[in-house]
Amino acid sequence: MWKALAIISFAASTALAQQHGTAYEAMRSVSNQLGRPALNHIVLVSGNGGNPQPSRWRIVLEQPGGEGGYRALDVANGQIVSDKPISDAQSSRPIETRKLNLDSSGAYSVAAHTADTSHVVFDYASYTLRSDSRGNPVWTVTLQTAAGSVGGAVHIGANKGNITRVEGMFRGTNTAQIQAEQQAPPRQDVREPETDISDENADDEDENFIKHGIKKMFYRARDDAQRMFDRVRQSFDDFMHR
In a domain, 156, yes or no: yes
The predicted pLDDT at position 125 comes to 97
The predicted pLDDT at position 182 comes to 34
> Residue 71 to residues 36, 83, 88, 171: CA-CA distances in angstroms?
16, 7, 10, 40
Exposed (0-12), middle (13-18) or buried (19+): which is 74, by Cβ within 10 Å?
A: middle
Name the more confident of 108 and 17. Answer: 108
Q: Is the pLDDT of residue 88 over 70?
A: yes
3-class secondary structure for the chain? CHHHHHHHHHHHHHHHHHHCCCHHHHHHHHHHHHCHHHHHHEEEEEEEEECCCCCCEEEEEECHHHCCCEEEEEEECCEEEEEEEECCCCCCCCCCHHHCCCCHHHHHHHHHHHHHHCCCCCCEEEEEEEECCCCCEEEEEEEECCCCCEEEEEEEECCCCCEEEEECCCCCCCHHHHHHHCCCCCCCEEECCCCCCCHHHCCCHHHHHHHHHHHHHHHHHHHHHHHHHHHHCCCHHHHHHC
Reported as a pLDDT band with limits 50, 70 and 90, residue 12 is very low
Domains in the chain, number? 1
**Mean per-residue pLDDT of the chain:** 77
End-to-end distance of the chain based on CA atoms, in angstroms?
45
The predicted pLDDT at position 111 comes to 94
Of 37-51, 72-86, 179-193, 211-225, minimum mean pLDDT range:
179-193
In a domain, 16, yes or no: no
Query: Under a CB-based contact definition with an 8 Å cutoff, are residues 156 and 225 in contact?
Result: yes
In a domain, 6, yes or no: no
The predicted pLDDT at position 217 comes to 67
pLDDT one-digit tens code per residue, 204-240: 444 454 455 566 666 777 777 778 888 999 999 999 9
Taking residue 31's Cβ as centre, other Cβ atoms within 10 Å add up to 16
In a domain, 147, yes or no: yes
Reported as a pLDDT band with limits 50, 70 and 90, residue 170 is low
In a domain, 10, yes or no: no
Name the more confident of 97 and 169. Answer: 97
Q: Is the pLDDT of residue 54 over 50?
A: yes
In a domain, 3, yes or no: no
Q: What is the C-alpha to C-alpha distance for residues 203 and 194, in angstroms, rounded to an integer? A: 19
In a domain, 168, yes or no: yes
Q: Please give the model's pTM, rounded to 2 decimal places.
A: 0.75
- The domain in which residue 177 lies consists of 21-236
The predicted pLDDT at position 215 comes to 67
pLDDT one-digit tens code per residue, 127-159: 999 999 999 999 999 999 888 888 899 999 999
> Percent of the chain scored above 90 by pLDDT?
48
